[in-house]
Amino acid sequence: MIYSLISGNSQPIFIKIIFWGIFAYLLGAIPFSYLITSFFRKSDILQYGDGNPGAYNAWHVGGWKVGLMAVFLDFGKGFFPIFMAQKLGGLTGWTMVPIALAPILGHARSPFLQFHKGKAVATTLGVWLGLTGISGIVAFAIFTITTMLWIDEHAWNVVFGMIGIVFYCIFMQNSVALILIAALNLLLLAWTHQCELLQPIQIHDRPRELIYRWRNS
């Protein structure tokens, strides 16, 4: 049965969705950033910063080498189950909706960390690489970098980056399923960043500041 599920042969579609959904959730739930920081730095990243068990905190606590490993692993646990479900499981379209969201939910509420909340940004990007290739990541980056010209808060940069993926799916992808995944993913990221999003926003006019400095240099 396991071989049939992996190979995409002879199993009812809902069985394959359940199998790959559970696989994606459990893989997403593995707290790689927490584990490698504990192993290499003997530190508990839940006790630092905002207590986020993700790559950002791992970078802050463990340095850039540990941080890069954390980014790669958290990214990979988003990409890998999506790639496997499509290529080996033969799943496409609407069948990918629960599977695409599963690793993000797994990171956001990992049972291996007593459901401690994670922010799931790197995992989200891994999922979209699997769904759309590099183009979805480019859309996220364009909106994120543009927002950074005006807003310092990381949470808002992430949310606007995800809005970029929503727009990309609406205007560049002929798939209602992808639009739904993007919209639900946006809600998940807003939920994982809710504390920061509720804080007052400080707006900066950096383009004008840069032009002013250039003219007076």
pLDDT one-digit tens code per residue, 122-131: 999 999 999 9
Q: Is position 130 within any domain? A: yes
| Residues 164, 141: Cα–Cα separation, whole Å | 8
For 46-53, the CB contacts below 8 A with 24+ separation are 46/113, 46/116, 50/195, 51/116, 52/117, 52/118, 52/119, 53/110, 53/113, 53/116, 53/118
Q: Give me the amino acid identity at 168.
A: Y
Q: Is position 192 within any domain? A: yes
Q: What is the pLDDT of residue 3?
A: 45
Q: Is position 217 within any domain? A: no
Q: Is position 216 within any domain? A: no
- Judge contact between 6 and 85, C-beta under 8 A: no
Q: Is position 210 within any domain? A: no
Q: Is position 23 within any domain? A: yes
Reported as a single tens digit per residue, the pLDDT across 157-176 is 999 999 999 999 999 998 99
* Domains contained in the chain, number: 1
Q: Give me the amino acid identity at 154.
A: H
pTM equals 0.89
More confident residue, 212 or 67: 67
State CA 5 to chain mean position distance. Answer: 26
Reported as a single tens digit per residue, the pLDDT across 71-82 is 999 999 999 999
Domain with 169, as residue range(s), is: 2-205
Reported as a single tens digit per residue, the pLDDT across 57-69 is 888 888 889 999 9
| Residues 96, 86: Cα–Cα separation, whole Å | 8
CB atoms within 10 A of CB 85: 27
3-state helix, strand, coil in the chain (%, to 5): 75, 5, 20
Tell the residue number behind the tokens 């049965």, with chain if given: 1
Q: Is position 215 within any domain? A: no
Q: Is position 212 within any domain? A: no
Across 37-50, average pLDDT:
83
